[in-house]
Amino acid sequence: MPIQSSGLNFQIEDFSARLLEVHEVLPRARTTAQAFAGVFPGSDVNVYAISVLPEGESWVLLATAGEVTVPDATIPLDTGTLGILARELKPLCFEGRTLIREQYAHLHVRRTLQSLSYLPLLLNGVLAGAIEILSFDEPLSQTQIGMLSGAAELAGVALQGARRYEEERQGTLTSITRLTQLYDIEKVFSSTLEMDQLFPLIGSKVQEMLECEAINVWMLDADESVRLMHQAGLDATVHEKDAQRPGEGLAGDVSDNGEPILIHELDDERLVRRNQGAASGAVTSIIAAPIMDQESLVGVIEAVNKLDGTPFDEDELFTLSRLAESAAIALHNAGLLAAERKVEVLETLVTVSHEITSTLNLDRVLQTIVNAPQAVIPYERAAIALEQNGKYKLSAITGVTQVNADAPEIAPLSEILLWALLSGGTVHIAQHGDEIDSPREETRAKFKDYFEKTGARGFYAIPLTDDTGRVGILGLESSDPDFLLPAHIEILQVLAAQATVALRNAQMYKEVPFISLLEPVLLKKRKFMAMEKRRRSLYIAAAAAVVIFLAAVPWPLRVDGDATVAPAHSAKLQPEVEGVVSKVYVREGDRVQQNQVVAELADWEPRMLLSEAQAKYQAALLQMNRALASNDGTEAGVQRVQADYWKSEVTRDQERLEQTRLRSPIDGVMATPNLETLVGRRLQFGDTFGEVVDTSRAVIDVAIDDTDAGLLRAGAKASVKLNSFPTRTFRGSVIIVSPKATLQGESRVFFARVAIPNPDGAVRTGMEGRGKVRVGWYPAGYALFRSPLLWLYAKVWSWFGI
């Protein structure tokens, strides 16, 4: 329905349709401004909305139509003509000549103003905005403005609907964003099962999501109090490791009743009590939620003071409660891991305790103490030094079977353990960066040098003492300065007590003369005498038979060792003259015979010299014959000498021509790759053209320990099993025994070189395996027990021999 009066034409239906085409506030405000500007040609139209800003209620410019006026973006509610509209709440029309500039100071007008009119945007009698019409060509009347009240009411309803639409959309987007953040936070919380890493994650992520100054994470103690385990941000009213019981603070109260708390009133008694004693950084708004694990309280999480200064609301309390649920799940999983580790620690302690108390073997006890705890304590090297009769001895090191305290890699550890033993107490030193955490300058200097030599950054030593005195000291080190947690130190204290008892018992047991020999013998004797007589007789007969077998029956004695196929016999093809390779007749892998031509050098120069020498030789013979025919003996003698010279030159040139053919010096296989690419290459005297390998026979070096070297003889039969042929045995004989020992690992060996036939070339240089050399027939007892008998003889000789 159009509005038509006094030339005024406004199409309500068209205006409504245009408003419905858009849904947001600004497009609808722009449509409203353009529609009213179209009704009053030569006028500018501004559309305002009332918003609550930090400085109070204000007019906020939504849209403008026209280019003459530039209004302010925000205007105080009671300013000028807009303030009059806010008070009267009805259409207004001001003549330009009656207005003073201060009444419309919010407008930057570029032309003379004929009239200034306003239409209020009312919703249920409450002012929500305004339409401002500036006429520059002719003044507007109050009647004209009043006729557009219906259109203004429609615009107000449309703008309010658009605002609600945007609020709903923003709410939806906020909810989606918050759900996404919650999902991401749950993923982050689930990314680790380490409790010491989880607390910082919870604090930082919750602080980031709630945009607050600080997050406090309290955990329940065994005495029903809550302790502040982590603080993200700054809250001067509490400090880490503080504890609260019910009635002593907000966290204590939440732990008692399990209900979330929202406080944003400064005069609240709980805030006043919390802020007491805080010189700065008082809490103005706080929310707290319980961390529940299957209806059981495990902690409390607090959020303190929003960053924008506004108080927390119920939505943020709800968010904190949901985050607390996610944190509870993560803490529950981390707790399960911690419990599993405790079980593992207890199992390890039980195992170590059982092993060190079930034996009186001192070496076994020492090795168990330095190696077994590594399953639950992340050290890299552990060592035990024992003190006995006033003497100090480094007795065991992780991963080392034979301890040499003077070795370069062990000497610094031995010295630092002696120093720790003499200090008389527990030593715990760590280096972070260049700082060593020790109050004493001497200790810092000592460990700075020690850490530089060993590469360690953490050291812990605990004395092993009992009622009778010191047994020794246990030391651990790692490249991680923080490798020991409080739980690890507790484990070490328990382990030290157990180790002290076990070591003391093992030392006392070891001091009994020949106890290690006598005890098993006596035990076996008691068991033997407890048998029935017939059974004892059977055992005696069997023992006699075994003794006769070992003493009288011959048995082949073999010595064995690691076997390696030695390089095969080979020969190099080297030219005797310089020249360019013109032809190659063989390739890699071709079998060749001795003296077979394998390549030729360019021979045009030797052939030319040979032809020249032959021609001169024939000419000399012809001259000699002529002189003989003419009975000129002198000339004949001269020509004979010339003929003999050129004959020798012919022979030499023939040999040189033959030297341009490269022949194989032996029977074998060509071992040089890509021989065909040598065509056209110039070879100097002594250059190697190729290599021929004789594969018809292989030599295998069998490494025999020096204790068995005296049994080796040339010609002894041998057998070899190579790794490349696990089902095939190669047999041959020893052709030579190396006259000089070679160091192999920690022992010295002599090589028995065994020759074996290799007609198919299967055995190749570098193959490895195991070889045995048969050195003769000996009594079975000697052949079977030679090694322990020699060891026993060496021990007896070291004790009594001269």
The domain that holds 664 is classified in CATH as 2.40.50.100
Q: Does residue 668 sit in the same domain as residue 734?
A: no
Domain boundary among 105, 136, 168: 168
Largest CA distance in the chain: 167
| CATH code at position 495 | 3.30.450.40
Quote the tokens at residue 231.
Answer: 């603080």
Count of residues in the chain: 802
Inside any domain, residue 358: no
Q: Does residue 33 sit in the same domain as residue 71?
A: yes
Inside any domain, residue 467: yes
Please state at what angle helix 195-210 crosses helix 149-189, rounded to 10 degrees: 170
Task: Output the CA–CA distances (angstroms, integers) from residue 696 to 582, 643, 714, in the order listed.
Answer: 31, 49, 21
Q: In degrees to the nearest 10, what's the CA dihedral of 500, 503, 506, 511?
A: -100
Range of the domain at 647: 603-657
Q: Does residue 403 sit in the same domain as residue 463?
A: yes
Euclidean distance between CA atoms 586 and 74, whole angstroms: 98
Q: Does residue 218 sit in the same domain as residue 318?
A: yes
Inside any domain, residue 399: yes
pLDDT value at residue 1: 41
Contact status, residue 246 vs residue 221, Cβ threshold 8 Å? no
Q: Does residue 677 sit in the same domain as residue 734?
A: no
Question: Hunting for tokens 């062990």 — which residue is that?
Answer: 410
Helices assigned H by DSSP within 69-128: 80-88
Domain boundary among 152, 168, 184: 168
Question: Hunting for tokens 């593992």 — which residue is that?
Answer: 344
Q: Does residue 52 sit in the same domain as residue 85?
A: yes
Number of domains in the chain: 6
Euclidean distance between CA atoms 678 and 620, whole angstroms: 42
Position 321: which residue type?
Answer: S
Inside any domain, residue 409: yes
Q: Does residue 683 sit in the same domain as residue 746?
A: no
Please, which contacts does 640-647 make with residues 24 or more away whose CB atoms are closer than 8 Å? 642/616, 643/617, 645/620, 646/613, 646/614, 646/616, 646/617, 646/620, 647/617
Q: Quick one: which H or E segment has residue 204? A: helix 195-210
Q: Does residue 743 sit in the same domain as residue 643?
A: no
Helices assigned H by DSSP within 562-706: 604-629, 633-659
pLDDT value at residue 174: 65
Inside any domain, residue 373: yes
Q: Does residue 620 sit in the same domain as residue 664?
A: no
Please, which contacts does 730-738 make with residues 24 or more away whose CB atoms are closer than 8 Å? 730/698, 730/700, 730/756, 730/763, 731/756, 732/700, 732/756, 732/757, 734/773, 735/699, 737/709, 737/712, 737/713
Q: Does residue 632 sit in the same domain as residue 719?
A: no
Look at the alpha carbons of 71, 76, 79, 83 in this order and tell me if their dihedral is positive or negative.
positive
pLDDT value at residue 2: 46
Q: Does residue 84 sit in the same domain as residue 151?
A: yes
Q: Quick one: which H or E segment has residue 227? A: strand 226-233
Euclidean distance between CA atoms 472 and 452, whole angstroms: 26
Inside any domain, residue 174: no
Q: Does residue 313 sit in the same domain as residue 386?
A: no
Enumerate residue ranges in the chain where pLDDT < 70.
1-10, 68-69, 171, 174-196, 277-279, 334-335, 337-339, 341, 345, 358, 509-523, 526, 567-569, 801-802
Inside any domain, residue 554: no
SS3 content of the chain, % helix, strand, coil (to 5): 45, 30, 25
Domain boundary among 168, 200, 235: 168
Contact status, residue 472 vs residue 350, Cβ threshold 8 Å? no
> What does 413-443 look like in DSSP terms, one character per residue?
HHHHHHHHHHHTS-EEEEEETTEE--S-HHH
Inside any domain, residue 348: no
Euclidean distance between CA atoms 152 and 133, whole angstroms: 12
Euclidean distance between CA atoms 14 and 602, whole angstroms: 106
> Tell me: the pLDDT tens digits for 605-644?
777 887 887 888 888 788 888 888 888 778 778 878 887 8
